[in-house]
Chains A and B, each alone.
Chain A
Amino acid sequence: MNSPTIFDELDQAIDQMMAEPETARPSVRPAGELGDLLDVAFDLRHLPRPDFKMRLKTELEWQSWSPAAGTALKTPQTQRPLTPKALAEEAGIMPSLSGNSYGIYQVRRVNFAASVLLHAAAVAVIVGLGVMMQNHSKDGVQTGPTVTLLARYQPVVPMSKKAGGGGGENSKLSASFGGPPKTSMQQLTPPVVVRPKEESKIMAEPTAVADLKLSASPQVGDQLSKLMAPSAGTSSGGGVGSGSGGGYGTGRGDGNGSDNGVGIGGSGSITKPKILYSPEPEFSEEARKLKRQGVVVMTVLVGVDGRIHDAQITRSPGMGLDEKALETVKLWKFEPARTSNGTPVAVHASIEVNFRLY
């Protein structure tokens, strides 16, 4: 066992040797084993860096693959690789074709050719699959239905730029919470919140003026109201809302909305609900077997949470397609409609789901 002293002496002698120029031998050579080990240590001062040996080997391999490129990889002084930019400048356009590249590593021409072939094969496979799918579709296999948001949300003004407004029954409370009334192009009776206990035997249906077939709510009221106690509103006119007239909303008139006039909808200050997530419904088994296609139209209530809370079919080709459409549409997610101040509001909209065979 060597004593720790020998380890220390050797290390001190090596430290001293390392402090001197590389070519200088130690001025004093210790005798015995220590001297022998220092001779070895002196030679080790010239030990090459392992990474240099590997790097040079790689450079030579490049040179051997393409002698011209190998020359280009050297600078006259140091023969070290040029920067990628300088290499690209020397290599010219598409240097890979001649075995060079824009990167640090040289490109083997064989590898480049193999890469081109592989890419060509991949493109051919993709094109082939596309053609196969197209041919397959022509054999009667249907793709998914198309869906369209008809953007008929409430209130909109297709007939008049001026919307109708709501009235009220001179109540102390503003209009209570509820849904829209039935709509009709000709109003006989304005919407009511509280029906009279004794109704006429020849009772006209309370409606607001609109050409939309909206799903009437059993409890008519203001969709934005937080009041639950039944109230038609603080104004007069017999409608529902804070304006005047037999309509539904905050303005004056017989329509639905927040402005004045006769018509449907509001002032245009409510944004359209946007579809965020709309999975496509599947074909019903019956329609698939019969290879029937058609369009399902439904009226939906898009809530402030962006979900569909109420959906009613207004047109259907049958064969279970309406059920499939309803099931799926309830999964849809919307960015809710918003007022001009950004408050989300519930709106009605029509949705068209087109089941089509290709």
Chain B
Amino acid sequence: MNAVANVSNGTDERLLIEAAQHDPSRFAELYENNFNRVYAFVARRVQNREEAEDVTAEVFHQALSKLGQFQWRGVPFVAWLLRIAANAMADRWQRESRNQEVPVDSLEDAGTDQQVERSAMLFQLVDHLPADQRLVILRRFVEQKSLREISQELGRTEGAIKQLQFRALQTLRSKVRSNHE
């Protein structure tokens, strides 16, 4: 299934955008629908988590302030967001005098990136893991703690944490597969 086509029903998204253009408080729904994709797109292209957060925040702030200029032309909203993200990263790199310019044209269809879509789906699936498995995944991959540190924090054996990590990754893999099929 095409990743962008899978985002949402085009008509629904158009209605959401128009609603947000009239009432900015409705922007929250657009944010929820697209946060993981934007973050996954940015995180793969920057050096660290702090930079990914800065760029993602900049993208959504810009999107909200320029929402009135957005015109629906059948292109998914996320494509517009990813274009803002690509420009933001290019500006940032130019400012920092890095010789790593991103070819903006090649990012116009970044919304179809299978990897971005897969990561975004994975991020969403983590929220639906059982609580103990989700906690272990967050401690291990977001906070980058060792299994020993996690076991001490949660008051469980290292073996139990190891098993929870394994089960969580198994669950995520099988759900990603089933969603792609």
Contact = CB atoms under 8 A, between A and B. Distances in A.
B123 interface: yes
B28 A56 contact: no
Interface in A6-27: 6-8, 10-11, 14-15, 18, 22-23
Contact of A67 (B35, B58, B65, B140): B65
A306 to B, nearest CB: 57
B83 to A, nearest CB: 18
Interface stretch (A39-47, A143-151, A188-196): A39-47
Contacts of A56: 31, 35, 53, 56-57, 60
Contacts of B137: 44, 47
B61 A70 contact: yes
B72 interface: no
Contacts of B140: 14
A36 B44 contact: no
Interface string B49-64: 1001110111011001
Contact of A52 (B53, B141, B162, B169): B53
Given A40-B173, A43-B119, A7 B141 contact: no
B142 interface: yes
Contact of B61 (A36, A47, A60, A65): A60
Q: Find the residue from B44, B48, B56, B61 having the highest chain A CB count within 10 A.
A: B61
Interface in B122-174: 122-123, 126, 137-138, 140-142, 144, 146-147, 159, 162-163, 165-166, 169-170, 172-173
B142 A70 contact: no
A61 B26 CA distance: 9
Q: Find the residue from B165, B169, B173 having the highest chain A CB count within 10 A.
A: B169
B2 to A, nearest CB: 20
Contacts of B144: 18
A10 B54 contact: no
B169 A49 contact: no
Given A47-B142, A64-B24, A64-B27, A71 B166 contact: no
Interface in A28-71: 36-37, 39-41, 43-50, 52-53, 56-57, 59-61, 63-65, 67, 70-71
A74 interface: yes
Contacts, number: 126
B61 A10 contact: no
Nearest to B126: A47
A46 B119 contact: yes
A239 B53 CA distance: 96
A200 interface: no
A134 interface: no
Contact of A74 (B44, B49, B61): B61
A77 interface: yes
Contacts of A41: 141, 169
A201 to B, nearest CB: 100
Interface in B91-118: 118
Contacts of B64: 60, 63-64, 67, 70
Interface residues on B, range: 35 or more
A18 B165 CA distance: 15
B39 A65 contact: no
B47 interface: yes
A79 B170 contact: no
B75 interface: no
A78 interface: yes
A53 B64 CA distance: 16
Main secondary structure of the interface of B (DSSP, over half): helix
Contact of B54 (A59, A70, A78): A78
A22 B44 CA distance: 8
Contacts of B40: 46
Nearest to B144: A18
Given A70-B61, A74-B61, A44 B173 contact: no
Nearest to A7: B162
A50 B134 CA distance: 11
Nearest to A50: B138
Contacts of B52: 46, 48
Contact of A10 (B25, B166, B172): B166
Interface of B: 24-25, 27-28, 31-32, 35-36, 39-40, 43-44, 47-49, 52-54, 56-58, 60-61, 64-65, 118-119, 122-123, 126, 137-138, 140-142, 144, 146-147, 159, 162-163, 165-166, 169-170, 172-173, 176
19 contacts: A22-B47, A22-B49, A43-B118, A44-B126, A48-B36, A48-B39, A48-B142, A49-B49, A50-B138, A50-B142, A53-B35, A53-B39, A56-B35, A57-B31, A67-B24, A74-B61, A79-B54, A79-B58, A79-B61
Given A10-B166, A61-B25, A79-B57, 15 more contacts: A7-B163, A11-B165, A14-B165, A22-B49, A37-B169, A37-B173, A46-B40, A46-B119, A56-B56, A59-B57, A63-B61, A65-B25, A67-B65, A79-B61, A80-B57
